Amino acid sequence: MARTLEIQPGGSLRGTPRIPGDKSISHRAVMFSAIARGTSRITGFLDSADCLATLDAFSAMGVRHTREAAALVVQGAGRDGLRQPGAPLDLGNSGTSMRLLSGLLAGQSFDSVLTGDASLSRRPMARVIEPLALMGAAITADNEGRAPLRIAGGQALRGIDYTPPVASAQIKSCVLLAGLRAEGVIRINEPGVSRDHSERMLAAYGVDIVREGRSLSMTGGQPLEAVDVAVPADLSSAAFFLVGASIAPGSELKLSGVGVNPTRRGVIDILLAMGADIRLINERDQAGEPVADIVVRHAPLHGIDIGSDQVELAIDEFPAIFIAAACAYGTTRLTGAAELRVKESDRIAVMADGLAALGVEVSVQPDGLSIVGCPQAASFSGGRIAGHGDHRIAMAFAVAALRADAPVVIDDCEAVDTSFPGFAELAASVGLGINARPVP
């Protein structure tokens, strides 16, 4: 059923909301535990639609899991223990599931088909098909390199020395997962910095990976040994609260146990550069990932230039960052971000349209946009926004209502559950005047 978010204007955010587990790490914890030898316990697992799609896919391939107290317990099938699913694996809206599973399944003995919803079926998959084909995989796709993906089993995979066309954690992870069933050495030469959750976690599961500058390599065919994983709170989800507290006078939030991996913390660094009052305290390591408690208070922001070197480090957080920019003094300019056009929606066009609908001056370029901030108490006029079935678009405009002079209504918001189930309730608990209403 469709859902609309209605948010009353103004207010402030105060409290200690508990941000749910990291989506990227939850995906990988399930995948790696499923093909490991032994039993893994995953705490902090994100029970979102995307992560449950990954879990359901492995259930369809014979991997057993149970729930025990706060833990998801996965009985690993081993590298060679997956079974052929009886039907295509429907991955819903999850691009991470599809791209990473394509690598993991490329070297299996059985055929498989990966499908998804209308949004996922529009997203580009040629970027993972290309390196997998070079490794010896047999994958066909519909719609000019888009899902569904049909993967032929029984292919002998070989090592590869590969430079992706863009810095991408999903491409890198796909190739590494295929390498677990390949002969020879797998080497990936990254053109820029991308998230390193896969290599951190693979190392925790006993895989030997060598990093030299922007290149990493591993010998194919290594087994995984089960471990326990504590998933930190998701920085991408925390970003909406970081922005909301930064733009709303009188706000102060403490977010506990948030992952602050240096390949992910671009949103923090960008907001700090804009003048945000953000402090990291109690910094520590959790299952190989850096974690901290984050305290954020309202502060006046100013516009900045955001270059391509910062894009991958904050790729999922730009909808929230655009809201901060609209409340800042001066102009914020983003370049080198064409990748935003092939997310769950065209996030450059969709955010620009939504900001303009709320009275913000914005101009669009092929690889970015410029936002003229309005630092007055009411930065937005209020109005009705199309969510375009994109979870991050909906949540970004929800926090924009903190600086609106009239209610903000966002349609087509059911996709919020793909990454942040309970967002509306959690936001309401710290002061956002939000109401989620089903639409027949």
Q: Which residues are catalytic?
A: 316
Q: Which H helix or E strand runs over 242?
A: helix 235-247
Distance from C-alpha of 325 to C-alpha of 333, rounded to nearest angstrom = 9
Contact between residue 409 and residue 397 where contact means Cβ atoms under 8 Å apart = no
Using alpha carbons, list the distances in angstroms from residue 132 to 89, 139, 175, 210, 389: 19, 8, 7, 21, 30
Whole-number Å distance between alpha carbons of 357 and 392: 17
Cis before 300? omega within 30: no
Separation between Cα atoms, residue 313 and residue 211, nearest integer Å: 19
Interatomic CA distance for residues 403 and 244, integer angstroms: 9
Q: Of 328, 330, 338, which Cα lies nearest the Cα of 364?
A: 338
User: In angstroms, rounded to a whole number, what is the distance separating the alpha carbons of residues 95 and 93?
Assistant: 6
- Per the CB < 8 A criterion, the answer to whether 45 and 29 are in contact is yes
8 A C-beta contact, residue 332 and residue 304:
yes
Tokens, residue 66: 């149970």
